[in-house]
Amino acid sequence: MLRVYNTLTRKKEEFQTLEPKVVKMYVCGVTVYSDAHIGHAMSAIVFDVVRRYLEYRGYSVHYVMNFTDVDDKIINRANQKGMDPQVLAETYIQAYRKNLEDLNVLAATANPRATQEMPQIIRMIEGLIEKGFAYPAKNGDVYFRITKDPEYGKLSGRRIDDMQAGSRIEIEEEKEHPMDFAIWKAAKPGEPAWDSPWGKGRPGWHIECSAMNLSHLGEQIDIHGGGNDLIFPHHENEIAQSESFTGKQFARYWMHNGMLQLQGEKMSKSLGNLVTIDDFLARHEADALRMMVLNGSYRAPLSYSDEIMDAAERGLDRLRSALKPAPAGAVGAAAELRNTLDRQTEAAQQTFVEAMDDDFNSSGGLAALFELVRAVNTARDAGATDAQLKPAQDTLKTLTGVLGLRLGEKKASGGDADKFIGLLVEVRNEARKQKNWALSDLIRDRLKELGVAIEDNKDGTIWHW
RNA sequence: GGCGUCGUGGCCAAGUGGCUAAGGCAAGGGUCUGCAAAACCCUCAUCAUGGGUUCAAAUCCCAUCGACGCCUCCA
């Protein structure tokens, strides 16, 4: 039984979908005005793992992730660079797509963008006005009337009165209540603008997600995800808009990932303490970032450091150690040992599922995989052949695949080179027979410089890139 | 000030009432090896602090200290 922690109730709840075996899932994407950093990557990876695991458990997942392609920051940035805001946004959308692909994040079912949803957004605003949940102001803005929504604050656990007290928000005269938020913003000169019943303008940030959910997934969805910095005000406002508009519960489960921190602070564009995904990938493989995320729990903050990355990379090496082939001369393992391996494989798979079923406990899932790694390596040491190792290794590959790890399956690593390396290994073994250690060590050392590792086992020599 | 998350070995981290407190990294010892490497085996924590509840608590309650996030754009 899958259990999911729901921000709305602050509890783990049994996961039940609106429709059997179908999951409608919406994750807030990024505002595209600069290069994405590894905090964004963490969020993308977290929800990619959720999606992959749900699919592994037999669900068909409709996964929607949006791009916010019109907002103040994009406009400012574009003006600085003397570019058209839409061109700027498009550039970063393509860059982010590439980042996600490099990170082995599965493509979403749909990637809607605010600028392509104007009719739906405007229709929704009209509906909210009709129902009295929103009002147009004299300045051309349209605001959501939070006092009309008795449940406002239920996601973030805030009360309107509390917020008023400590609020640092500038009180705009056009607003009925200081906490009312804009769902349509009147255009200032030179800004991108769309026609609307309230004059030229553009949508507020929150309304686009509500509208895109409605048009791409329907009135109700199963999972809504994003970083926990979005809980307030973004997701709170989304709930207010969507539920006021439809009169129905919007998302059943709200999932939020913790923030990636650098030197004790949240990594963010505004603070400037960030590592871009491109920077990261120039120094590490994509799996390493994923491994780092998987080792923790998605809801907790995660500190990024070289030490953590080092541990993650070594952990990956360990997972890969089980996928190495048996030595050429392997004689085969006894029946009893093969049974043990089968049993351990079964147990690992079961433990993996139990852990992941508990709110996607990936570090628990990894622990099960490491147990399997030990089992495989022990069997290989005991003489198991490739054929005997295969079922366990296949299981390991399947389960690491559920986590989205590739484990460096470098395609056609050497191509033709493999044959020549095999030949060198053969020659080296001849030298070893003749106790020509100088020559055999030379071959080993030189191959190592070329990135080929040689391991002499009892039953023969293994080499790998 | 308000809301929320959290504090487990050198580091990361699971576990949230009861068998010997998962797993990974690092460290030390050992097996194997011509030497290595890899693998395997062994060793390494009483759970921030102080009270309380209970037959029994890392796990529940209270307090204290500390960290982080949100309350303003933010994954």
Per-residue pLDDT of chain A (465 residues; tens, 9 = 90+): 899 999 998 889 999 999 999 999 999 999 999 999 999 999 999 999 999 999 999 999 999 999 999 998 999 999 989 999 999 999 999 999 999 999 999 999 999 999 999 999 999 999 999 999 999 998 999 999 999 999 999 998 888 877 765 444 555 678 888 889 999 999 988 889 999 999 999 999 999 999 999 999 999 999 999 999 999 999 999 999 999 999 999 999 999 999 999 888 888 877 778 899 999 999 999 999 999 999 999 999 999 999 999 999 999 999 999 999 888 788 888 899 999 999 999 999 999 999 999 999 999 999 999 999 999 999 999 999 999 999 999 999 999 999 999 997 544 455 678 888 889 999 999 999 999 999 999 999 999 888 888 888 877 888 887
CA A11 → C1' B49, Å?
28
CB A40 within 8 A of CB A288: no
Angle between helices A72-81 and A85-102 (to 10 degrees): 110
Tokens of A420: 């020549």
SS3 A252: strand
A3-283 classified as CATH 3.40.50.300: no
Which nucleotide lies at the shortest CA–C1' distance from A30?
Answer: B75
Residue-range domain boundaries for chain A: 3-283, 306-402, 417-464
What single DSSP character describes residue A263? Answer: T
Residue nearest to nucleotide B12 (CA to C1'): A308
Which nucleotide lies at the shortest CA–C1' distance from A378?
Answer: B40
Which nucleotide lies at the shortest CA–C1' distance from A435?
Answer: B34
Amino acid A414: pLDDT: 59
| Topology alike, domains A3-283 and A306-402 | no
Residue nearest to nucleotide B40 (CA to C1'): A378
Domain spanning A306-402: which CATH class is it, in words?
mainly alpha
Amino acid A413: pLDDT: 56
Cβ count within 10 A of residue A410: 10
Instruction: Give, as ranges, the nucleotides of chain B with any atom within 7 Å of a protein CB.
Output: 1-6, 11-15, 22-26, 32-41, 67-75
Residue nearest to nucleotide B67 (CA to C1'): A264
What span, in angstroms and rounded, lies between the C-alpha atoms of A444 and A449?
Answer: 9
Which nucleotide lies at the shortest CA–C1' distance from A261?
Answer: B68
CA A258 → C1' B51, Å?
32
Amino acid A171: pLDDT: 57
CA A5 → C1' B3, Å?
19
CA A112 → C1' B44, Å?
53
Amino acid A329: pLDDT: 80
CA A147 → C1' B65, Å?
39
A151, with CB counted inside 10 A (0-12, 13-18, 19+), is: exposed
CA A36 → C1' B5, Å?
25
Residue nearest to nucleotide B14 (CA to C1'): A364
CA A342 → C1' B40, Å?
19
Closest-CA residue to A262 (of A293, A302, A292): A302
Residue nearest to nucleotide B5 (CA to C1'): A300
CA A319 → C1' B38, Å?
13
C-alpha dihedral sign at A262, A268, A271, A274 = positive
CB A399 within 8 A of CB A286: no
Q: What is the ipTM of this complex?
A: 0.94
CA A157 → C1' B12, Å?
31
Which nucleotide lies at the shortest CA–C1' distance from A318?
Answer: B24
Amino acid A411: pLDDT: 43
Tokens of A125: 């605003």
Amino acid A410: pLDDT: 46
